[in-house]
Amino acid sequence: MSLIKPILLASRPKTLPAAVVPVWAGCVLSWKLTGSWDGWLAFFTLAGAVCIQIATNFFNDAIDAAKGADTAKRLGPVRVTASGLLSRKTVMLWAVVFLVLAFACGVPLYLQRGWPMLAIGVPSLFLAYGYTGGPWPLAYRGLGELFVILFFGFVAVTGTVFVQTGEWRQEALLLGGQIGLLSAVLISINNLRDREEDATTGKRTLAVRLGPKFAISIIWLETKVAALAGLGWIFFKHPEWMMASAPVFGLGLRILWGIITTAPGPGYNRLLALAGLQLILFAAAFHAVAVLIH
């Protein structure tokens, strides 16, 4: 039992909606476009995405601790390597275990859809480590938001739809853009909260590079563009899916107000939880509209 709690802490369950939502919404879109979806392919896609997310979190925990990026000034949840709950070697080993599991989940997808799965899977597996590790770690270069928009938005949603339908659909790009931007809100809030600590440890996030006012502007832009992009569903003759943006307009205002009126600190952990809820509610609204309106 003593090992379970730190493993759960390092896996960061609150971040997993960023892996679940693109697959969930992508399967709903596939069903709506074709009239069917494959449960087993959905399972392996979802399991692979979750395993990559968990591996990324384990690598992040171990590498940030090694680089001194998790200090006693940390405002977020406890990090197991920096706090000594687990050794760096153990955390890295668990990261590799989840990468192997993700690879295993990719095998049936490759057998079904061929080489495009390698084009998606190999970079995704590498960047689980390369997000914070390697010679050019994205998180330390201010590229965290861009990475999330690309891989947890466009790649995850279009890849899911391709797995389900065997087609690259333009509708998936629109949905992927919305989900990617809403996922990036989580990273942006996290980086704004940790800006002062990151500035002392060499983690050059956008919040560190450009300052708190610009960081707030980024969160505002991510939220509003994600919501307003829903107008694009008119072009695809599915105007009803604009209603999926309703939670973003509502909860997004609450999140933005909290960021504007609250100084970066532990209170931002609640705003992060609201941003995660916003992402889930967007997917739920998208699903509900797809089911209720024919």
Q: Write out the two tokens for 64.
A: 């940030």
Distance CA 135, CA 91 (A): 20
Model confidence pLDDT, tens digit, residues 207-253: 999 999 999 999 999 999 999 999 999 999 999 999 999 999 889 99
| HEC assignment per residue over 149-213 | HHHHHHHHHHHHHHHHHCCCCHHHHHHHHHHHHHHHHHHHHHHHHCHHHHHHHCCCCHHHHHCHH
Residue 254, pLDDT > 50, answer yes
Range of the domain at 136: 4-292
Number of domains the chain is built from: 1
Distance CA 73, CA 69 (A): 10
- pTM metric for this prediction: 0.93
Percent of the chain scoring above 70 in pLDDT: 96
The end-to-end CA distance of the chain, in Å, is 49
Give the position of tokens 């107000």: 257
CATH number, domain containing residue 197: 1.10.600
Residue 74, pLDDT > 60, answer no
Model confidence pLDDT, tens digit, residues 170-214: 999 999 999 999 999 999 999 999 898 888 878 899 999 999 999
CA distances from 111 to 43, 124, 166 (A): 15, 18, 12
Q: Write out the two tokens for 106.
A: 């990719």
Model confidence pLDDT, tens digit, residues 102-122: 999 999 999 999 999 999 999
- pLDDT at 1 (0 to 100): 44
Q: Write out the two tokens for 160.
A: 């899911």
Distance CA 148, CA 50 (A): 14
User: 177 or 7: which carries more pLDDT confidence?
Assistant: 177
Distance CA 169, CA 69 (A): 40
